[in-house]
Amino acid sequence: MIDTLLKTTILLILVTAATQLLRRRSAALRHLLWSFAIMGLVMIPVLTRIAPQWRVLPSAASLAPAPSLGGEPVKSAKPLPADEPQADPALSGAATQGSAVSVWSVPSVWSVMAGLWLAGALILLARLVVGLVTVQGIAGRAREVTDENWRNVTDRSIRALDVRALVDVRSSTEVSMPFACGLTRPIIVLPANADGWNAQQKEAVMLHELAHITRGDLAMNMLSHVVRAVYWVNPMVWVAAYRLRVEGERACDDAVLRGGARPSDYADHLLSIVRAVGGSAVPNVALAMARRSDFEGRLLAILEPGTSRARLTRVRAAGLAALFLATVTPLAAMTVNDRVASKSNDVLRTVTQETSSEKQAPTNKEPLPHPSATVAALGEALSDASPAVRLAAVNSLGELQDPAAIAALARALKEDTDARVREAAAWALGEIDDSRAVPHLLEALKTEKVSKVREKIVQALGEIKDPAAVAGIINVLKDPTAEVRRAAVDALAEMEDANSMQSLMGMIRDDDLEVRRKIAESLGHFENVAALDAIVAMTHDADAEVRANAVESLGHIEDRRTVDPLVASLKDSDAHVRSHAADALGSIDGLSTAPRALIDALGDANRDVRQNAAEALGNIGDEAAVPALKRLVSDTDVDTRRKAVEALKDIGGAEAIQALMGLLKDPDPEIRKTAAEALGKRHGRDDGSPMAMEAPRTPSAPRMPSAPLTMPSAPKLAGVTRPQ
């Protein structure tokens, strides 16, 4: 539950930040983002179950026992009794009063918390049901509107908003404010005094309520109430539900204004409705037209000039939906657990410069802890006659992540007759993440016949990252099954052990495309010149992604010997490869002369290549690139032009100054700003010249006297005088 709360809170923080950045954009856009947030709260628990997981910081419990500080042990919270090597009092028949407290006190806290959460959720859900019944009762007792004027207004509004659903319009004496309700059959309920409204008021009200229906606000409003009941302990969920309703109302207000209503007249209509009500008695489950809680902000939004009221197009909505899925899926796959506890302790030891007596050897040879009653019972279940029972027991041991289960899981890995159980046992040992499982995994790897199990064993060894496993993983790089070889490459890349680099280099022509892609990417992680020839060979692979990964790996090496192969890759047929090549050339230390091919890349048909080439040339600082960069500032793509201006600023020199001065009238304010900043750049000078920029000097050139640089002929700048 805590894991889910953390992920949903991160999602809501991201959406809050996004809506703040978009506060000048249309309310429909912000409402869509809050709708995605509400849907994300539903999706995250589901995706957490089915998406491949990746690890972040450990839970607080995983930091115990903490390393000592200054020779004194750091006190930490007592671990849960399930992790203690002690017998179950119920089985031993002898438990002291103190041990009973240690066994039952912590679970009781969680039980109380779970009970409180359940009680709060049930109360909110019950209130939701009462509200639904109340609203449906009001709508059911309301009479159908037969007035000809209202029918004409309704028909015009339906045509204006292209409403496809069948909508009932009714009048009720029980309410004094219009509202919309109903999921399967939408209903608009008007107050009894609505017949006395003028034509403008009627049309504004009808457009507003129909906008709720055509936008799907009724369903999202209902979902927000359910989600708020489930996540009621998180205050940000309450904020999200509130913002969803507010932005929905403002989006409907925008629909009315797009229909031709004057902002001042529409604001007056809303104000008269609120004054007549004095406080709405309509439950929140219905979308009442105006509530006092957010009315002031709506009026300001209606009357504020320059606010975007654009309709959200389907293309933009689809793009935002794709971006949302790309964000929420890895967020749901994030896991916070004990498997990285040792790394957190390493960080703490480094910060405190502690030389504790904790075991530092890469392989943990300490005896396994005594299993708790739970682990012991699950271990016995591994002998059950039913493979389904054994599989469930193995999965539970993996979830517990208790090193005391290593021996039982190792037996299942080597002896169980069901391949599914052996595969699960390998997974569970990887979840425990303890180097004491490495010998068992390596032994099983030698004899296992099922490729799926071998793949899972290699993945488990990669999770543990014990150097003692490197040799065993290298042995399976020639496995006949491609999936096993892929797992081996991934595991060795995670370990970044220098001994494995030579073996990976020998696989650059593997028959499996995915293996070659992983090799091309992994060799760059070593940042070793010894891998240069192998990586260069992969830049000629038939697959474009292999070539792109190889070029990116060359950029990690950052050696002058990579220049020629990177220049050759600038002419690759794939734009992704060319883009990586341009980027890598800009990261080579000591490169002061730009290759001609890199300057020519400024004219590439692909915008990413042009941008990376411009940035690389700015890093190199060669004035020979200035003429081409001057042409690039006229590029049709604004981001490319900005990259060109940044590069001119970084290169400097008289010709660059002349180009930058001409950009002070560019239509893009960001380019004008960058050009203005560049013209005032002094590179360490202190002569008071606001426009002096020194041309780059070679390291051997003597430093010139501090004097203003003679400016090229250029138009005068208003308000800027030359130094005397």
Residue 106 belongs to a domain: no
Stronger pLDDT, 310 or 90, i.e. the higher one: 310
pLDDT tops 50 at residue 344: no
Q: Output phi, psi for 629, to 5 deg.
A: -70, -35
> Of 59-63, 255-259, 450-454, 554-558, where does mean pLDDT reach its minimum?
59-63
Domain boundary among 303, 326, 349: 326
Count of domains in the chain? Answer: 2
Concatenating the DSSP letter of every residue in 39-51 gives HHHHHHHHHHHHS
Residue 668 belongs to a domain: yes
Residue 160 belongs to a domain: yes
Domain boundary among 298, 326, 354: 326
Q: pLDDT (tens digit, 9 = 90+) per residue, 446-472? A: 999 999 999 999 999 999 989 899 999
Stronger pLDDT, 380 or 310, i.e. the higher one: 380
* pLDDT, position 84: 37
Residue 492 belongs to a domain: no
* pLDDT tier for residue 339 given thresholds of 50, 70 and 90: very low
∠ CA 188-190-195 to the nearest 5 degrees?
Answer: 135
Residue 670 belongs to a domain: yes
DSSP state of 164: -
CATH code, domain with 658: 1.25.10.10
* pLDDT, position 347: 39
* pLDDT, position 681: 60
Residue at 384: amino acid letter: D
Residue 274 belongs to a domain: yes
* pLDDT, position 277: 66
The mean pLDDT of 617-632, rounded to a whole number, is: 91
**Mean residue pLDDT across the chain:** 80
Best CA proximity match to 30, nearest among 39, 44, 43, 17: 17
Query: 């016995």: which residue's tokens?
Result: 380
Residue 345 belongs to a domain: no
Domain of 649 in residue numbering reads as 592-724
Query: Are the beta carbons of 298 and 263 closer than 8 angstroms?
Result: no
Residue 582 belongs to a domain: no
Query: 């969803």: which residue's tokens?
Result: 244
Q: pLDDT (tens digit, 9 = 90+) per residue, 630-649? A: 899 888 888 998 899 889 98
Pairing mode, strands 179-181 and 143-144: unpaired
pLDDT tops 80 at residue 356: no
Domain boundary among 293, 326, 359: 326
* pLDDT, position 372: 92
* pLDDT, position 88: 39
- The β-bridge partners of 171 are 143, 190
* pLDDT tier for residue 56 given thresholds of 50, 70 and 90: low
* pLDDT, position 54: 60
> Of 126-130, 168-172, 714-718, where does mean pLDDT reach its minimum?
714-718
Output b/e per residue, 526-537; b: 16+ Cβ within 10 A: beeeebbebbbe
Q: Residue 582 corresponds to which tokens in the numbers above?
A: 């341009």
pTM of the model: 0.45
Calculate the alpha carbon distances from 574 to 66, 407, 512, 520, 661 in Å. 51, 51, 21, 16, 36
Q: Residue 543 corresponds to which tokens in the numbers above?
A: 């697959």
Q: pLDDT (tens digit, 9 = 90+) per residue, 241-298? A: 999 988 888 889 888 888 888 888 888 888 887 777 654 467 777 887 777 667 777 8
Q: pLDDT (tens digit, 9 = 90+) per residue, 559-616? A: 889 999 999 999 999 999 999 999 999 988 888 899 999 999 999 999 999 999 999 9
pLDDT tops 90 at residue 197: no
For 152-281, strand residue ranges (E) read 168-172, 179-181, 187-191
pLDDT tops 70 at residue 335: no
